[in-house]
Amino acid sequence: LLCCFSHFLFGRLLTYRMTSIGTGYDLSAQTFSPAGKVFQIDYAMKAVDNSSTAIAIRGIDGVVFASENTIKSKLHEPKTIERTFGIDRHIGMLYCGRRPDGHSLAKEGRSSATKFRDLYGHPISVSKLNDELSGYMHYLTLHGGARPFGCCVVLAGYNPTDGAQMYMAQPSGESWGYYACAMGKNKQAAQAELEKLKPTEMTCRELIKEVARIIYATHDDVKDKDFELELSWVCAESNGKFEHVNSDIHSEAESFAQEKMEEDSDDSDEDESDGE
């Protein structure tokens, strides 16, 4: 009896301490705080917000992905960092956050797409794959011994019948359809640039230049490390297949972005001169 009373008293004291100073609720993804928060999910979103920028835009004839892949060492081999993956021939995935988590979700997405094709004899739709993957992400917020994925993912596809489709799933498992979205440390600045565009009136050829421009425009040369620009798409021009853009289109988009940066720099210098 004394032992049971001691456990009861300890539990009450622990609950009081957690409530009074606001700690202890982040020890498990299964625990809600008094304010209704799940801190493990908030921490997972911090991993996304601390990652380098990634952008996805849905246009008239498909979806384009762009990511700012940080070069962490001068010894790093070029073009070995990838944040976009082919999940099925007609579906691509972009992630932002912890790299191992992104790779794990890509593997899970490919497994779901393969199982669906084997079972039903036709490719999985983007919306169905989004339901499967976001459900899997949510599942890991419900069980002990697991943690939420430290990344957001964007799934996109295109076919002539349904047109372009794009969804973003967060570590909590919540997901929505988007016309454009930005993730990472420069999300707010990139989001502001995206809101100036009219993606539903633009082709992927036009959008591939714009996403390159936004990545360069939001990159801070002083605070941020050097980066490689990764560009990919799934659209009418790629015959409905997900693929990285070829070197000619990639060079054209980078040149466009750098020219726009120089123009903006010249304009700001002129404004400063006029002010003096």
Mean of the per-residue pLDDT values of the chain: 86
pLDDT at 224: 75
Q: Strand order of the sheet with strand 54-58?
A: 180-183, 54-58, 62-70, 227-235, 242-244
pLDDT at 38 over 90: no
Per-residue pLDDT of 51-100, as tens digits, reads: 999 999 999 999 999 999 988 888 888 878 889 999 999 999 999 999 99
pLDDT at 8 over 60: no
pLDDT-derived band at 33 (thresholds 50, 70, 90) equals confident
Q: Are 105 and 113 within 8 A, CB to CB? A: no
Distance from first CA to last CA of the chain, Å, rounded? 83
Q: Using CB atoms within 10 Å of the CB of residue 92, give its burial: 0 to 12 exposed, 13 to 18 middle, 19+ buried.
A: buried
- Reading the block at residue 215, the tokens are 């990545």
Cα torsion 268, 270, 272, 275: sign:
negative
Residue 261 neighbours by CB under 8 Å, 6+ apart: 213, 216, 217
pLDDT-derived band at 168 (thresholds 50, 70, 90) equals very high
Per-residue pLDDT of 104-122, as tens digits, reads: 999 999 999 999 999 999 9
pLDDT at 276: 55
What's the CA angle centered on 110, arms 29 and 248, to 5 degrees? Answer: 115
DSSP H or E segment with residue 7: helix 2-21
Phi/psi of residue 128, nearest 5 degrees: -65, -45
